[in-house]
A = this chain, B = another copy of it.
Amino acid sequence: MKKRLFTPGPTPIPEKVALAMAEPIIHHRNPEFGEVLTRVNENLKYLFQTSQPVLTLTSSGTGGVEATFVSLFSPGDKIIAVNGGKFGERWVKMPQAFGMNVVEVRTKWGTAPDIDSLKAVLLKNADAKAVYLVHSETSTGTAADIESLAKMIRENSSALVCVDGITAVGAHEFRFDAWGVDVCVTGSQKGLMIPPGLAFVALSKRAIESMKTSTLPKFYFDLRKALKSHENNDTPWTPAVSLVVGVDRALEMIRSEGIENVWSRHRRLSSALREGLSALGLKLFSDSPSYAVTPVWMPEGVEWKAFNKTLKVDNGITIAGGQDDYAGKIFRISHLGYYDELDMITVIAAIERTLSVHKYAFDPGVGIAATQKSFLSHLL
């Protein structure tokens, strides 16, 4: 059975990236590796659209976000954290674990953060050191308008603008410098198309400045150490060498496609997928759809586990289910990373085949036709 992955991380690895990672390993203190890291550091700036340093850490994205908390802040510091899903929730619990004072702003799952509500919270909490935002909330497939939010935060406070870009970077337009973002974290197994194990952290001048007064205890995730090594295209601890070699190739692919083209491809794929799903009579979950992952309500009368089994066992397709309150109620199709238009036709075709087995009523082909139509409208 031919297998196809449509999950929001790990995302499929391009064949040439997989083969590069399978080449004989090199030592991380060797000049060859220094060359790789120099190129990676440069291309990460392009990916984040920044002239500031982007640090590479050996950890999951969660570790990358932790590095920003422990390196920039002190116990008792006030943080505003916007929570509209599983990951937003994690960025509430994490600073609490480090003794920070967290002001939680809850957003309904599937709804983008509202600028005016956040502004009100910000004005009430003038002493907040930072606002943590999720650009694309993976659990709900919902995108936030980071450009406008960052602008509002900059205009109304001195709080650092910190962005979880884990499933957004490489999918949604993102301009670290132009938008006035201070911290952005992403992971390797997302838009960067390589296996999990690396986190990337971009830091503004203000963020770097705030590292000087931070008193939270830290060692492995001490970004001062990482920044110092970064200046010499090095890392303080042994990095995940094969993954760095992989991300070097992946960044070259992104650079060669052009970041604007990568963003517009994700917008085009997600839009066409939504057209296809809607044409099948399926209901979309998010008010503000992510370009990385599309959440869909399970149609009435179809049971998630049986649906997923047919999709997986008979069609070789892996998608993601709902989480927490939405387990069994929604499913999520990812189109983040190494996907093209024909992949969207493929996944809609498999969804149709699966719905048909589960006696859901629709005209066969109506979903793939709508997806195709959406793509062809762009070509004309």
Contacts and interface: CB of A to CB of B under 8 A. Distances in A.
A94 B62 CA distance: 21
B12 A27 contact: no
Interface in A232-264: 237-243
A318 B66 CA distance: 35
B196 A238 contact: yes
Contact of A243 (B59, B197, B318): B197
B24 A7 contact: no
Interface string A132-152: 000000000000000000000
A60 B63 contact: no
Interface stretch (A13-21, A39-47, A76-84, A101-109): A13-21
A98 B63 contact: no
Nearest to A9: B238
Given A22-B22, A58-B59, A97-B217, A240 B27 contact: no
A115 interface: no
Contacts of A9: 238
Interface in A329-362: none
B237 A63 contact: yes
A195 B237 contact: no
Contacts of A25: 5, 10, 12-13, 189, 195
Interface in A81-95: 93-94
A266 interface: no
Given A21-B22, A217-B216, A196 B60 contact: no
Interface residues of A, number: 52
A30 B318 contact: yes
Contacts of A93: 219
A138 to B, nearest CB: 11
A299 interface: no
Interface in A272-322: 318, 320
A53 interface: no
Contacts of A58: 58-60, 63, 196-197
Given A10-B25, A58-B63, 19 more contacts: A5-B25, A10-B26, A10-B241, A12-B24, A18-B24, A21-B242, A22-B22, A58-B60, A58-B197, A59-B59, A60-B237, A60-B238, A62-B219, A97-B218, A99-B217, A187-B238, A195-B242, A196-B241, A197-B243
7 contacts: A3-B24, A28-B196, A58-B60, A66-B219, A93-B219, A98-B219, A197-B240
